[in-house]
Amino acid sequence: MICINLMTAAMRAALRNRRCRERHLEEYRIRARKNSSLYYHRNPEKVKAYQNSPQGKPKIRERCLNRYGWTTVMFEDTLLELGNACAICRLPFTQDDPVCADHAHTNPPMPRSLLHRSCNAAIGLLRDDSEMCRAAADYLDSWRK
């Protein structure tokens, strides 16, 4: 039986590189995280200057929003709709308690609304379960009497 290899040398090299990358993917991720944190710790002024610059701020926000299913337009429209206030506590967003884009933990993530970071953490700690939230409210009400 004669076997004819139809792969070119470049195709074989690409396949070999892909297999190697897949085998060592976690090592690459660890190294990348380590390098980025090293850069941050060695150059905190540069990183903070970029984050606060007009060029860096929109890019960082857009990248974070996209990760959770939001677009910049959706974010800004929702912020105007809520009157720059949290959807849960109705208090305005401040520097101490900034806006957080809430999302349902599905695949892909589904945007819900804008909350304070503390309100978002609270519902997250209650596992996004409305029954647990009601039970917590009932518990607090029972101690107020």
What is the percent of the chain where pLDDT is above 70? 94
**Euclidean distance between CA atoms 3 and 46, whole angstroms:** 58
pLDDT of 24 > 80? The answer is no
At 92-129, the pLDDT tens digits run 998 888 899 999 988 888 999 999 999 999 999 999 99
pTM for the model: 0.61
The single-letter code of the amino acid at 140 is L
Residue range 5-22, pLDDT digits in tens: 667 788 778 888 887 777
| CATH number for the domain running over 68-144 | 3.40.1800.10
Residue 46 has pLDDT above 80, yes or no: yes
Residue 23 has pLDDT above 70, yes or no: yes
What is the token pair recorded at 7? 């792969």
Residue 127: other Cβ atoms inside 10 A = 10
Summary count for the chain: helices (H), strands (E)? 7, 2
Given the structure tokens 């960082």, which residue do they identify? Answer: 60
What residue segments make up the domains of the chain, in order of their start? 68-144
